[in-house]
Every structure is written in C-alpha cells, then in structure tokens.
Structure 1
Amino acid sequence: MQRIKLVAFIITAFLSCKTALIAQNKNSKPNIVIVFTDDQGYQDVGVFGSPLIKTPNLDKMAEKGIKFTDFYSASPVCSPSRAALLTGSYPTRVGVPVVLWPNLPGGLPTEELTIADMLKTQNYATACIGKWHLGDKEEYMPTAQGFDMYYGIPYSNDMSVYPKAKVSEKVLFREGMTIDSLRQKKWRGGLVPLTEQNEIIEYPVDQSTLTQRYTKKALEFINENKEDPFFLYLAHSMPHVPLYASAEFKGKSKRGLYGDVIQEIDWSMGKILETLEALKLDENTLVIFTSDNGPWNLKNGHGGSALPLRGYKFQTYEGGMRVPMIAQWKGAIPAGTVCSEVASTIDLLPTIAHLTNSDMPEEIVDGKNIWPLLAGKKKASPHKKDGFFYFKESTLEAVRKGDWKLRWTEEGIELYNLAEDVSESQNLAEAHPKIVQKLIKMMDEFDAELKTDNMRYQ
C-alpha cells in the first residue's frame, strides 16, 4: 500500500513539474508592465517620505522589490518625457523636444522604434491605456506606434478636443455636447475626449471615473493575454491638473484632493499586482512604477511635493526631473532593495530588449541596460562614465556625472555635489573651477553630437 502511494506521489509530482514546464515554455519571455503617472512629485509616495498621503500598495511593492532614489525622467514636461521612455533616447534626439498640443501637426516620428514596436517582433500583445500625448493625428496614435489597442485621453486632461478626430457611431455625449459642438474649433480647456483605438467614444469624458476605468481596462488586458507574453503601458492622466478622484476616494486623504488622487492611483497599482499574483504571473512579470516629471508649483494645494529636492515641473533642478521609481519581479528582483545609482526612463527600452532578447534600434540609443541594478547587483550606474543630461525643450541645461551636477543657464553657472547637497542649496562653482570646466566640455561635446544626429527632424 505504501509502495502504491509512493508511486502515485511520484507520478503526481512528475505531472505537476511537466505542467509547470509547459506553462513556462509557453510564456517564457517576461511580461512587462509600466505604470507612468503624470506630474507626481518625488515625495508623493509613502516610501519616498510623504507625510500625509497613504500608499500602502506602492510601499508594499517597494518591500517586495526595489526602490530607486536617483531615478530620472528625461524631461521636466509631458510629451518629451513620454517620447524618451518609449524610445530609450533623449527627447531632442527623437524629434519631440516640446509639449505637443491638439489640433497642431506633428508627433513622435513613426520611424522611431518604440518599446511596443520592439516587443511586437517577439509576438507580444501590447496595450497603451491612459494619456498618450505624442501626437493626436491617426498617423501618430498608439496603434501606429506598435500598440494593439489604445484606450484613454490622447493628451493632457486640461487640453481640448481635436475637432477633426474620428467619432464612434456609439459615442456618448455629455454636458449638452453634440457632434456639431465637438467639430467647432473653439478651445474648451479641460473638456477632453475618451478615445478607444482611434475613435472618440465619450465627450467630454467624466474625469472622476478615469483612474477606475483605466484600471478596469488594464485588468481586462492582463486576463485576456495571461497565456502569452504582454506589454502593458498604463499612463495615468492624474495627478495632472485639473484633479479628479472617484466618489470612493474623494475626501479620504489628509493631503486634500491631490492626496485623494494619489491614493486612488495606489489602489489601482494594488489591483494590478493582486491580479498578477492571482493569475500566477508575478514570477514572470516585471512591473515598474514611476512618474513623467516633477510636480506643478501650485499654491492651491493641487500640486505635489518634490521635497527634499529643489524645483518643480518645467525646471532642470532635481525636483523637475528626479522622480519616484519602484520595480517588482518576484524571484528576480531581491525584496527590499534600495538603489542609489543614477538611472532613467531612457534605460527601460535597452533593459527590456536585454530581458526579451529583442534587437535594439539601429539608430543611436541613449539609454543603458540597467538590469544588473534592478537585479540588486552592486554595480555602478551605466551613466557614470558618460553622464546624464538634463534638457529643457531643445536646450541642454545641465549634466550629472557621479555626484557632481553642473547647471548652466542664462542665470549663470551652478555646481552642486548631490551626495552632500541633494537640495541644490550651495553653489560650488567658484570653489571647483576644474570640475566646472570638465563638465562644460562634456555638455558641449554631447550637445554637438546630438544636434548632428537630429538633423533628419529639422
């Protein structure tokens, strides 16, 4: 009897292992989830020091994964930061140095290879949910840039509708709007459309429901593609102003409406992580949470906080471009890791290419593979040698090399040691002229190379 039980146990164990191997082989490439918030300050997460905003899901994500203290967006404003994330290069190199407005020509050139384009060559299902802001004409929309599906607002939530946009036959008009009023060229700031694929399905969208609806779509996409590799790019419209939270979260934060919005985004993050775990996908999924740039400098409480950093959105001080970043991948990223090496959104494409055995773009890519940092290995930043550059539109204003940061604007030359002065309060330019000279030379050489490479978009 014992022998029979032993044989049965061995057979069961063998079949379980075989089933696990089949499942692993079927989806051997890792799933990729990038959650990108809009104008969220460096401090506006519990594990980054927020005194009033509660983010239990993001805090738990950091406990189970890694927190980056020196992680940067490639721009202090919306469109360029998104172009950089998706292409792995500085915005000026890929032809999107400024914010793109609806009704105007232009967008991210389709010649540029996006993360979604790259992963489609590896048979990934790809989805963009939320804010796009890389061109609202059909030839620049997500479905022309490697994404199978798109659902969201094509630009910032304070902008206006593109009057010539395609409109679904089943469109829901709200607040007395009609097809005739949509087609008018009159600017209506804050009255924005909800778009699915390339058609408007609601106008104006009820922004208080956005975070919930984006999350629902994201969970549907994960469930629909659980058997195959997928790439989910969830770019929340919040906390860009005007701020909106659902009834479930409104009035719940000690930080006012801004805090309500962040706590709802935290809820969304929790639902995604919970779903991945329930589907047993957490051991094969890299999840990244970060922001597109620093917070607005608003006096009405609707802006975030970048403390202890100096500066805000639109600026190349740390507060404008250093952003919170948390990553999780069960079994691959050591739990409770903190990384203080310099890394950036431009590093995501090269890192994902490494993890998925995808071919890199033929053109120059500024980002580096940061998988060793994500994996918790004690490695120096891949930007330590070449430096990390801070652009304001097409103007190169600053460079960081190691702990030193040089900022050169019309207001003069500033030099900071970020290891000792993260708030950029003590200008050391006069005390270290050789370091100033060295960093200015680095900026000049990089700027000259970048402008030569970017001639195809002039």
Structure 2
Amino acid sequence: MTRTKNNLLRLSLYVLLIAGVWAPLSSWVSPPKASPPNVVLFFIDDMGYGDLSCYGAAGYTTPNLDRMAAEGTRFTSFLAAQAVCSASRAALLTGCYPNRIGISGALGPGSPVGLNPEEETIAELLKEKGYATGIFGKWHLGSQKEFLPLQHGFDEYYGVPHSHDMWPLHPNQARANYPPLHLIEGNTPGKEVKTLEDASELTPGITERAVGFIRKHKKQPFFLYVPHPLPHVPLAASGRFRGKSSAGLLGDVMMELDWSVGRILQELKQQGLDKNTIVIFTSDNGPWLNYGDHAGSAGGFREGKGTSFEGGHRVPCIIRWPGVVPAGRVCNKLLTTMEILPTVAKLCGARLPKKAIDGVDMMALLKGDDTVTPRDHFYYYYRQNSLEAVRKGDWKLVFAHPGRTYEGFLPGKGGQPGPNTENHEFPMALYNLRRDPGERYDVREQNPDIVAALEKLADEARADLGDDLQKRQGKNVRLAGRVEK
C-alpha cells in the first residue's frame, strides 16, 4: 500500500510539473485566427417594399427569404440612396451619395459616362485583403469596356451591362432603336438576349454562375455580388416557375428569385461556409408602378421608382450571419445602402476608400446593440442633382419640386406601361413618418421649429453637394468617368 501511495504521489508531482511548464509556454502560442468572413450581396432590380411575403406580399410566398429573415434581422426603414438604377448602384458599391461622384439616372447603352476609375468599390477594397470577387447579374454603371466590373475590382463578371428593357423590343417604340442586348462574360460580349424566352434564362443562369463561384473559391474568402436583373420589366420566368403563383407573372418571377436565394444559401451550407458568411439582401429602388400587374408593391408607401417619396426609396433589407446577427429581430432605425461598404470593410478587416464617403458603419447595430443610431439624417436627391427632400429621425421635409407621379393615372397591363407625369408640381410639405408613413398629412404649420432645423440641414447639403433646384454648386462633388465615343 505504501509503494502504491508513493507511486501516486510521484505521478501527481510529475503532472503538476508538466502543467507548470506548459502553462507559460501555452501563453506564448497565439490561438488560430478566425477565417475572414465571406460576403454575399443580393441587389434586386425594381423590387418594392411589399414584394416579399415577410413584408406583406400576397398571391405567392418567398419561403427562403422568410427563413433568412427568421434566422437574421429584417430592416423596416432601409433606404436606397436614390430611386433609379445607375445612381442607386453607384451608391451601393462606393458608399457615396451618387451625386457626389457624378452619377445620376439610368445610363443608356453606349453612354460615354460611367463609374470613375478613381472611385474605390467594395470589390477593390476586399480584393486588397485577398478576397476573390465576382459579380453575376446587372452592372449598369457604364457599358463601355473602361467602366465594366473587371476594371472596378471584380475578378469575374457574367451578366447584362444595363437594364434588359434597353433593347429593340422596348414597348415604347420611340426607343426601339436601342442596340442589341448581349450578355457579357468578363469584358467580352456573348449571347444576345433577343426574346422574352432568352430573358427567362437570366435568373437561373445567374444563379448557376453564383453557385459555381462559391464552389471555385470555397477555400479562400470571397465577395459574391448578385444583382439580379428581374423583376425589372420585361418580366420573364423560366418554365419551372411560369404559372406557379396566383399573382400572375410578377408572382412567378418573385418565386424564382426566392428560389435563387435559397439555392445559393444551400450551396453555402453544403460547402461548410454557412456560419462564416454574411448574406445581405436588398433592392435598388421601389416598383415601377405604371406597369400595373407587371409592377411590384410599394407596401402602402407613397409613389414608387423615380420619386423622392418613401415608395421610391424604402426597400426590403434582410441580413443574415449565424451567431453574429441576431435571429428573428426587426430593426426600425434609419439606414441606407451606403452603409454596406463601410460595414463590410470593417468586418473583413479592409480599409475605407481614400476619398470621402457618406456611408456610416452600422456594425454595432447589426450585432444587436439597439442603443446606437448610426445614421442621423438622409438627403433625397434626384434628377441630375436636385435636393427634393431631407429626413432626420421620423421627420421628412419635402421641398417644392417638379417630379414623377403615378397617382391619378390608370396603370398599364400585360407588360405595357400606363401613363404617368414626370413634371407634377409637388408643394413643400412636412411629414412625420412614424405617424404618417404614407406621407399624406402636411404638418408644417404645427412644427415650425422642425421645419427650421431641417432647412438648416438642407443648406448644409447644398453647400456640400449642390442643388439644381436652387442653382447651387456643391464644394465636394467629384466627376463621373467619361470616355470619348
């Protein structure tokens, strides 16, 4: 028994000795670094606030996006930076108000204007950190080779250079002189999109390329940008989804887009990347309402695409990152697409652009800290550089301006647009978006102090960015890219 006790004592001393030596040694060894997160960014064309079932859509369901919302955070006061294609995309990729960098409207085929190569995109910032970068879908920041994605930080590109209604089959025959529309691979034009049947292959073709990109780069961090061309008109769904909804072709298209998101999420999971990937889903602007049954829903907000009312700017946004972004959460704070660049840069360890940007880091809020308010105010610019409204908190001051309205006009049907006016004279008005999200009741007379504060904020914007309505030049605007035809 004595020998056994002695042996146990020696063993205990030996274990303590080893532990004492190992403890300081272990403190010298750094724990393995976590892999940088992957980023998947969906940017849907002309999808309104009310076009997902988790935002109130009827006649069809979007189960994959509903599940994404249940597993992540759904935002209810998220704004596109401008309510039109090219401008909105410029803001997303650079973190700037589009008028700051000289981009406005929707650039036409062959336009000499495009995103200036001196502007830095999300793709360029992440590429510096070793990320593979790919875009599959609609670009619309210049169709000249000098402006295409491969010249702005992307390693791979497959998709259309601009909106797919900019083609010879445009319903407005005055625009039927558009050149042929080609899919582009890298910098090279490929297959022509000649018919609606060709257009019906856009969503599945883009999805297939996105899935292939994930498989190809699964062993390195990647940034995958999926700007789907649909549900921008002309609507087209593949045979697998045609006729599946009770909301007509629009519902079919939305069901197919939901399938695309689900397929890409499935691939992330199959490759073991699900928990280390932040997925962001949002839209470039509100619905093109004069297309009637081929247009989406603004979800009860006023007006739609091409306007500075909430129906033009307020879009769905869902962000999912298991274990980081709280699940099942709804966030009502004011945010914009410009926040995506600084937030993604921070979480990926990338630097910010060298030139000034307008986006703000929302990472703390994204992780669940509701005590922070990253964005204080927002400027609603449209046309070339017209400041049409300004918002601070729940208050929105709309300035007198000529603009598009759909109200009072019978919408179109079956892919043909109804009329609208581009020069309706809107009066100055103050709205409280908490009590009046539909922007129907002007409360200026009751709140002169609020009006004064917002007008002061607007003057700051005019000094910085300018205002065509007041014929003022901004001090800090930069030029768009330009090439000679």
Question: Is the TM value for this pair above 0.5?
Answer: yes
**CA distance in 2: counterparts of 1:380 and 1:323, whole angstroms:** 22
* Aligned with residue 287 of structure 1, among 273, 279, 286: 279
> How far does the alpha carbon of each residue in 1:161-220 deviate from its partner, in whole angstroms, 9 at most, with x for none?
8xxxxxxxxxxxxx9xxxxxxxxxx95559521110111110125111110000000000
Letter paired with 1:82 = R
Q: Say which SS state the counterpart of residue 475 (structure 2) adopts.
A: helix
* Aligned with residue 443 of structure 1, among 449, 458, 468: 458
| Larger Rg over CA atoms | 2
Deviation, structure 1 residue 327: 0.7
Q: Say which SS state the counterpart of residue 287 (structure 1) adopts.
A: strand
Letter paired with 1:150 = Y
**CA distance in 1: counterparts of 2:450 and 2:256, whole angstroms:** 45
Letter paired with 2:445 = E
Q: Cα RMSD over matched residues?
A: 1.9
* Aligned with residue 141 of structure 2, among 134, 141, 155: 134
**CA distance in 2: counterparts of 1:130 and 1:136, whole angstroms:** 13
Deviation, structure 1 residue 95: 1.4
**CA distance in 1: counterparts of 2:52 and 2:479, whole angstroms:** 40
> How far does the alpha carbon of each residue in 1:98-134 deviate from its partner, in whole angstroms, 9 at most, with x for none?
2111122010101000000101110100001100000
Counterpart in 1 of 2:185? 196
Q: Say which SS state the counterpart of residue 428 (structure 2) adopts.
A: strand
Deviation, structure 1 residue 453: 0.8
**CA distance in 2: counterparts of 1:209 and 1:357, whole angstroms:** 37
* Aligned with residue 380 of structure 2, among 367, 390, 402: 390
Counterpart in 2 of 1:106? 113
**CA distance in 2: counterparts of 1:23 and 1:213, whole angstroms:** 42
Give yes or no for contact 2:325–2:367 (8 Å, CA) kept in 1.
Answer: yes
Counterpart in 2 of 1:405? 396
Unmatched segments (≥5 aa) in structure 2: 1-29, 170-174, 402-425, 466-473
Letter paired with 1:200 = P
Deviation, structure 1 residue 351: 0.1
Deviation, structure 1 residue 409: 2.5
Q: Identity of aligned pairs, percent?
A: 46
Deviation, structure 1 residue 160: 3.1
**CA distance in 1: counterparts of 2:36 and 2:112, whole angstroms:** 37
Letter paired with 1:251 = G
Larger mean CA deviation between 443-452 and 321-330 belongs to: 443-452
Counterpart in 1 of 2:469? none
Counterpart in 1 of 2:39? 32
Q: Say which SS state the counterpart of residue 184 (structure 2) adopts.
A: strand
Give yes or no for contact 1:400–1:406 (8 Å, CA) kept in 2.
Answer: yes
**CA distance in 2: counterparts of 1:133 and 1:409, whole angstroms:** 30
1:180-259 equivalences under 5 Å are 187-189=176-178, 191-204=180-193, 206-259=198-251
**CA distance in 2: counterparts of 1:370 and 1:132, whole angstroms:** 25
**Which stretches of structure 1, 4 residues or more, deviate above 6 A after TM superposition?**
none
Q: Say which SS state the counterpart of residue 76 (structure 1) adopts.
A: coil
**CA distance in 2: counterparts of 1:257 and 1:447, whole angstroms:** 43
Question: What is the TM-score when the length of structure 1 is the normalising length?
Answer: 0.87
**CA distance in 1: counterparts of 2:355 and 2:283, whole angstroms:** 26
Letter paired with 2:378 = F
Deviation, structure 1 residue 88: 0.3
- Give the total of aligned pairs: 411
Q: 1:275 to 1:24 in 2, by over 3 A?
A: farther
Counterpart in 2 of 1:167? none
**CA distance in 2: counterparts of 1:455 and 1:200, whole angstroms:** 30
Question: What is the TM-score when the length of structure 2 is the normalising length?
Answer: 0.82
Letter paired with 2:400 = T
**CA distance in 2: counterparts of 1:67 and 1:295, whole angstroms:** 19
Q: 1:339 to 1:300 in 2, by over 3 A?
A: closer
Larger mean CA deviation between 141-150 and 372-381 belongs to: 372-381
Give yes or no for contact 2:109–2:178 (8 Å, CA) kept in 1.
Answer: no
Deviation, structure 1 residue 379: 2.8
Give yes or no for contact 2:41–2:225 (8 Å, CA) kept in 1.
Answer: yes
Give yes or no for contact 2:101–2:477 (8 Å, CA) kept in 1.
Answer: yes
Unmatched segments (≥5 aa) in structure 1: 1-21, 162-174, 176-185
